Amino acid sequence: GGIPILVAACKSGTAKLKELAVTLIGRLNKDHPRIQRLVVEADGTLALLELIRSGTPLQKELASTTLGTLVVGHRENQTEAALGGAISELLMLARHGTNVVHVDHRPLCAAVRGEILAVEQHRPRGCQKCAAMTALGCLVGCHSDNQQQALDAGAAPLVLQVLMTSSTPQQKAAAAKLVAALCERNLGVQSALGSAGIIPPLLKMVESGSELEQEAASRALAALCAGHSGNRQLIASGGGTTAVDDLSKSAHPSKGAASLARLQIRPKFHELSSPRLTRAPVPVEHSPLHYLM
């Protein structure tokens, strides 16, 4: 019974109470499908979208992060959030949001059904743009309709701009993770992103980016070329095979992701003999949904 109370606080509480309620919802529903569904049934999606549209800067970031936990791995919630306009709202925030990292280590307390709950208000994890791109990745991951809708709404130019112009590793990594989620198990989106010029900046990140960038870019390349010979050729022609091989053989913390990319870049016999394959068989444990949040 506490979920409706928290959703109501998101709608009509004070600014601090809204921040606390959003944070609590995010903590409660993460990796918990039943609570994820209860939040949606209590109109939690609409409350979060309203904060993303018109909340304070911190509320927008917190609401984006919580929306990601609400839909990740939950197809029904993904569908309903997209129908409610979440894709366009998150793309708007990813384009025009702030680059400021909001940090406040003061604990917030609130009474829910007589119990006093204390939650660290916010940890420094990025910015509005990072939060929006991460939430969008959760919204489209393994959901072909949402992937196509995001692509049609301009996700490709957005991530390309971030990958090429952003000066922060966090934003570039968030964009690379979004690329992986957009094209996961979707050859049509893989083709569109490859044609949009996404691969060269990802290769540059693998070659000379930070640890955070290298891991995210390696996973994005793995998703882009899984079952897609055209993207494999683009990677090879850009020198990506050597860069990924070198990273996968090093002692670098990103070698695991690079090894995954290396396996996907190299063509597989069953794919060469099955040109009609429309979905790449990516193991569940390597899904972007398992490292987006």
In the chain, % of residues over pLDDT 70: 72
Note the pLDDT tens digit of each residue in 67-101.
Answer: 999 999 999 999 999 999 999 999 999 999 988 65
Which residues sit opposite 112 in a β-bridge? 115
Note the pLDDT tens digit of each residue in 232-285.
Answer: 888 888 776 666 656 566 655 555 555 555 556 665 534 444 444 444 444 434
Ranges of H-type helices in 166-228: 169-183, 187-195, 199-208, 211-225
Contact partners, residue 207, CB within 8 Å, separation at least 6: 243
- Give the end-to-end CA distance of the chain in Å, rounded to a whole number: 26
pLDDT at 5: 96
